[in-house]
A = this chain, B = another copy of it.
Amino acid sequence: MEAPEGAAGLRCHRPVVEMLDLPFLPSCVFLGGLGLLCIAFVGTWCQHWRGGFSLDGSARTFNWHPVLMVTGMVVLYGAAALIYRLPPARRGPKLPWKVVHSALALAAFVLAVLGLAAVFRFHNAHGTPNMYSLHSWLGLVTVLLFSCQWVAGFSTFLLPWAPTWLRAFYKPIHVFFGATVLMLSVASCVSGINEKLFFSLKNGTAEYKLLPAEAVFANTLGLLILLFGVLVLGALARPSWKRPDADSSDSHQPLLTAER
């Protein structure tokens, strides 16, 4: 039973809650910095401890895999998801921001495909089977789901074929699978970093269980990726950062129409 005085009491306390609401821009700068830190960490790990990068099929070809997956499936993907929360994107026509969202997601997808190509090339060059570990199953499910998400989003929200009721119906599904793909990406990264450290740190004084500097560094990378993923999902869920007209007709405006 809702007591009117209770509801009034809550209304009195609302300014306190809103006063303590996180300001968007500093949070956005922090998230951007954290994303760049993740890229810097994964690049430094592969360059400093794992021998750097090449395209010759060696372990240095494998090194593109973590860098491209973290950059594409976590950081660029997170940026694509958050684009509508930027203050200029919260006002005026949504269409240009839909194009930016779609382009960032496509860039993330291209990096992910290149990242998969790197690990397949490395495995094939060494006669190692592909697709046996839980990490590989999860990673492939994530990229396949992302590809369906991109194609369905582009076809429904940017191309002119989808009727308005379909756009309205598909939007919450797109939002749900968008968050799901980010969660799966983060879980893939954590299991992948864990697996790579067990593979790489096997001998003598550098054993993983002796926690050498590389292990501390790469474990920290895993926690930073998790923090980034959780904060992006938290930012997406904040009601005060959403476009006020999230359900307006403009949300359902296709890119290609007969009129424009």
Contact = CB atoms under 8 A, between A and B. Distances in A.
Interface of A: 1-3, 5-7, 9-10, 13-14, 16-17, 20, 92-93, 128-129, 132-135, 137-138, 141, 164-165, 168-169, 176, 179-180, 183-184, 186-187, 190-191, 193-195, 197-198, 208-211, 215, 218-219, 222-223, 226, 229-230, 233-234, 237, 245, 247-250, 252
A104 B186 CA distance: 27
Contact of A194 (B14, B191, B208, B233): B191
Which of A14, A180, A211, A229 is the most central at the interface, judged by chain B CB atoms within 10 Å of its CB?
Answer: A180
Contact of A249 (B10, B132, B186, B230): B10
Given A169-B16, A230-B180, A6 B249 contact: yes
Given A17-B169, A187-B226, A223-B137, A10 B128 contact: no
Contacts of A1: 92-93, 248, 250
A116 to B, nearest CB: 18
A209 B93 contact: no
A249 B208 CA distance: 52
Contacts of A198: 133, 195, 198
A132 B209 contact: yes
26 contacts: A2-B248, A3-B248, A3-B249, A5-B249, A6-B249, A7-B247, A7-B249, A9-B249, A10-B252, A13-B168, A14-B168, A17-B165, A20-B169, A132-B209, A132-B210, A132-B215, A133-B197, A133-B198, A134-B194, A134-B197, A135-B190, A137-B222, A183-B233, A184-B230, A191-B194, A198-B198
Contacts of A222: 134, 137-138
Given A13-B164, A133-B209, 17 more contacts: A1-B93, A9-B164, A9-B249, A129-B209, A133-B194, A133-B197, A133-B198, A133-B208, A134-B193, A137-B219, A137-B222, A138-B222, A176-B234, A183-B230, A183-B233, A187-B190, A191-B191
Contacts of A191: 187, 190-191, 194
A3 B222 CA distance: 46
A93 to B, nearest CB: 7
A215 B184 CA distance: 20
